[in-house]
Amino acid sequence: TAPAPVGPVPNARQIEWYHREMIAFFHFGMNTFTNDNEGDGTASPRLFNPTALDCRQWTSVLKSAGITSAIFVAKHADGFCNWPTAHTNYSVKNSPWKDGKGDVVREFTDACKSAGIKAGIYLGPHDRHDSRYGTDDYSDYYADQLSELLRNYGPIWEIWWDGAGADKLTTAYYTRWADSVRRLQPNCVVFGTKNSNAFADCRWMGNESGISGDPCWSTINLSSIKNEADNIAALNHGELDGTAYVPAEVDVSIRPSWFYHPEEDTRVKTVAELWDIYFNSVGRNSVLLLNYPPNKEGLISPVDAKRSDSLGAMIRGTFKTNLASGASVKTLHPRGGIYKPSNMTDRLESTYYAATDDARTDTITFNLGTAKTFDVLMIQEVIELGHRTTGWSVEYSKNGKNWLPIPEATGKQSIGYKWLLKFKPVTASYVRLRITAGKACPAIHTFGIYKQQM
C-alpha cells in the first residue's frame, strides 16, 4: 500500500500549478505610454496607443522558452483598464487605439488559446483612479469587473491579488471576490497576499529578485501571509511546521522595471542571470513568474525575446539526458512492490520510490555503470504525500567505496516538487542520495544528474 500523507498536502489546483514550472507575466497599460511604473491614475486615456500590438508575438516568445501559461495585467494600480469594461470610462474604449474598439484582454486570451497557453489575469486590487477605492462601493466595482473577466474570456487559470497598496481591502471583500472566482472558474489558482491569505493557492516569496529561500517549504502559517511585512523570511523559506499548504510563486522581471522603459533596453537580464533565477526559483520548490514588459508598439522587444529563447534552449538541452537513467539502484529501506528504486529514473509521472513506513532516513545508491561527468542534479518528492524529507546530501564515488561530498549538495533540507543544484563538474561511476532526516518515510519521484548545455 502507498505511504500515508504527512502534514498539509496540495489541492488539485496546486498540483496543476506546480507542473507549469514557469509562468510569464505581462505588464502593459497606461504606464507603458507614460514611461511610469506606478501612475497616479490621472493620465488621459488618449495616451494609450500601441502601434503594432500583437499578442501572438508574445505567445510565440513563450513557446520557444517552453512557457505554458501567462498572466496579463488587465488593470494595474493606476486604474486604466486594458479591456472595454462596462464599469468605468477609464479604459481602452476611450483611447485612439483601434478607434476605441480594441480589447487587449481579448487579444491576449485568444492568442493564448491558439498557442495552447493557459491564460491568467492580474486585476489590481489597488486603484488610484477610482475614488471609491477602499469603500464598499469599490468592492462592488471590483466584483463587477472580476465577473466580467471571469465570464467572457474563456478559462482563466490564475488570478493575481497583488498586496501592494491593498491594505484597505478587508477579508470580507476578498471573501466575496474569492467566492466568485471559485464559482466561475473552478480551476483558477489564486495568488493571495495579506487579507486574501485564506484563499491563497500560492504565496509571494518575499522579494522581487527571483530568489526563493533555501530551504523553501510549501507549508506556512497563514498569519505569515497576512502580516507579510513582519514575516519576509517565512514567506521566503516557508515554515516546516506551517499549518497551510501555500507554495511560493517567484515574481521577477526580465528588466529592472515591471513596465517597459526604452532606457532599460540595455539592462535586460543576461542568460546567465536568468539561468541563476531558474535554479533559485524552479530549482527551489517554487514556480517562476517571469515578467516580460511589452513596449509601446505592443511587442516584446527583440533582446528580451532572444534572452528568453536562450533560456529555453538551456533548459531543454540540460535536462534532455538524465545520466542516471539506466543505472542500477539500491536502497537501504525499500518498501517493495510497485515502489521500486528504479522508478526514480524512469521519467514517468505515475511512479515513485518509497521506503518502508518506519524509515525516516535512507541511502539510495546509483551505479552508473561507467564514469559520467555532471554538474546539475534534480530531486523531486511526491508532493501529494506532503513534505517528508527534511535532510539530505548527495555524494559521489569512482569505485562505490570511497565517497566524496558535493559541497553544494551537502546538508540540504527541503525537496518538494523539484529541487535543482548546479556545481563544478564531477566525474563518477557511483552517486548516492543520503536522506538523513524526515517526517515520514521517503517518497522520491525523480533523481537526475545532468551536464549543463550552454
Q: How far is the CB of 385 from ligand OTN (least distance, A)?
A: 29
Q: How far is the CB of 209 from ligand OTN (least distance, A)?
A: 9
Which of 316, 314, 268 has its CA nearest to residue 291?
Answer: 268
Which of 263, 267, 223 has its CA nearest to residue 246?
Answer: 223
Residues 6+ apart with CB under 8 A from 273: none
Residue type, 68: T
Identify which of residues 210 and 215 has a Cβ nearer to ligand OTN in the complex. 210
Which of 206, 137, 200, 204 has its CA nearest to residue 168?
Answer: 137
> Judging by beta carbons within 10 Å of its beta carbon (0-12, 13-18, 19+), is residue 164 exposed, middle or buried?
middle
- The DSSP 8-state label assigned to residue 402 in this structure reads S
Q: How far is the CB of 83 from ligand OTN (least distance, A)?
A: 22
Tally Cβ neighbours within 10 Å of residue 402: 10
Q: How far is the CB of 210 from ligand OTN (least distance, A)?
A: 11
Q: How far is the CB of 128 from ligand OTN (least distance, A)?
A: 13
Identify which of residues 269 and 372 has a Cβ nearer to ligand OTN in the complex. 269
Identify which of residues 193 and 295 has a Cβ nearer to ligand OTN in the complex. 193
Q: How far is the CB of 32 from ligand OTN (least distance, A)?
A: 19
Residues 6+ apart with CB under 8 A from 345: 322, 324, 325, 326, 327, 329, 366, 446, 447, 448
Residues 6+ apart with CB under 8 A from 430: 365, 366, 367, 368, 396, 397, 398, 399, 400
Cell, residue 337: 512492490
Q: What backbone phi and psi angles, to 5 degrees, belong to 91?
A: -155, 180
Identify which of residues 229 and 349 has a Cβ nearer to ligand OTN in the complex. 229
With H, G, I as helix, E, B as strand and everything else as coil, classify residue 347: coil
Contact 288, 254 (CB under 8 A): no
Identify which of residues 59 and 193 has a Cβ nearer to ligand OTN in the complex. 193
- The DSSP 8-state label assigned to residue 411 in this structure reads S
Identify which of residues 163 and 298 has a Cβ nearer to ligand OTN in the complex. 163
Q: Across the chain, which distance is largest between two alpha carbons, in Å?
A: 74
Q: How far is the CB of 115 from ligand OTN (least distance, A)?
A: 26
Q: How far is the CB of 397 from ligand OTN (least distance, A)?
A: 43
Identify which of residues 202 and 431 has a Cβ nearer to ligand OTN in the complex. 202
Four-point Cα dihedral 173, 174, 178, 181, nearest 10: 80
Q: How far is the CB of 345 from ligand OTN (least distance, A)?
A: 37
- The residue with its CB nearest to ligand OTN is 163
Identify which of residues 25 and 245 has a Cβ nearer to ligand OTN in the complex. 25
Q: How far is the CB of 160 from ligand OTN (least distance, A)?
A: 8
Interface with ligand OTN (CB under 6 A): 162-164, 193-194, 204, 208, 228, 251
Identify which of residues 103 and 162 has a Cβ nearer to ligand OTN in the complex. 162
Strands 118-123 and 389-397: unpaired
